[in-house]
Structure 1
Amino acid sequence: MIGLLIVGLIGYGVYWAFFDMNRLPTGEYLTEEISPDGKYTLKAYVINGGATTSYSVRGELVFNIKDKKTKNIYWNNREDTATISWMDNNTVEINGHTLDVKRDKFDFRNQ
């Protein structure tokens, strides 16, 4: 039982350190688009990884109605621009990736 607990803690530590989308760098503001019903705003930021890595784009969903809470729903490598278009009130397309904002996330590290 103790061994299973240790493996679980190590697994969570690796996830937290390398894959948790809440720990992404802030970046520089690119653009934003508001959903047709005004319930969400998707803001895009470009992150300069420095000399050893390429640019990345982070998409942050803002809940306009609920306390302006935010969550990261998009993270893609080798991009420095963002094209955002809302398909309907809950579906957005970011640089060719279609996401349902209620349940989907895109993270290039999981592809």
Structure 2
Amino acid sequence: MLGYGVYWAFFDMNRLPKGEFISEAESPNGEYTVKAYMTSGGATADFAVRGELHFNTENRKPKSIYWNHHEEQAVIKWTDEDTVLTNHHKLNVPHEVFDYRHTRKSSKR
């Protein structure tokens, strides 16, 4: 239980700050849209970009799939219906996520 509490408090991508909308891109088949937001850490942290996956054809909540610090913009490009590049980080949606706090992308979500 303590392990989950630490994960929830420090690593859960659903607890990331919302941020200010900066860009979006829809998948070629219209199934998904990735929206990017820039967040400011205030005086103690650098800017960061958060990417949120929206399910256009399903009634599901948006899911945070991208979180990277030292960024103020987002370049989002779809390479096919399920593969998106966000600032050169390749993700197969909806299962993979990129979180700079982990050294690799993850398929846990």
Shorter-chain-normalised TM-score: which range?
A: over 0.9
The percentage of counterpart residues that share the same residue type is 55
Matched with 2:68 is 76
Structure 2 CA distance, aligned partners of 1:91 and 1:58?
17
Structure 2 CA distance, aligned partners of 1:103 and 1:70?
13
* Runs of at least 5 residues in structure 2 that lack an aligned partner in the other structure: 104-109
Per the normalisation by structure 1, the TM-score is 0.91
User: What is the deviation of 1:102?
Assistant: 2.4
Structure 1 CA distance, aligned partners of 2:41 and 2:78?
28
Residue identity opposite 2:29 in structure 1: D
How many residues end up aligned between the 2 structures?
Answer: 103
Structure 1 CA distance, aligned partners of 2:77 and 2:67?
16
Aligned match for 2:21, one of 20, 25, 29? 29
CA RMSD of aligned residues (A): 0.7
Matched with 2:30 is 38
Structure 1 CA distance, aligned partners of 2:54 and 2:91?
15
SS in 2 for 1:109: coil
Per the normalisation by structure 2, the TM-score is 0.92
**1:1-111 maps to which residues of 2 (within 5 A)?**
9-67=1-59, 69-111=61-103
Structure 2 CA distance, aligned partners of 1:20 and 1:77?
16
Q: Look at both structures and tell me which one has the larger radius of gyration over its CA atoms.
A: 1
Matched with 1:5 is none
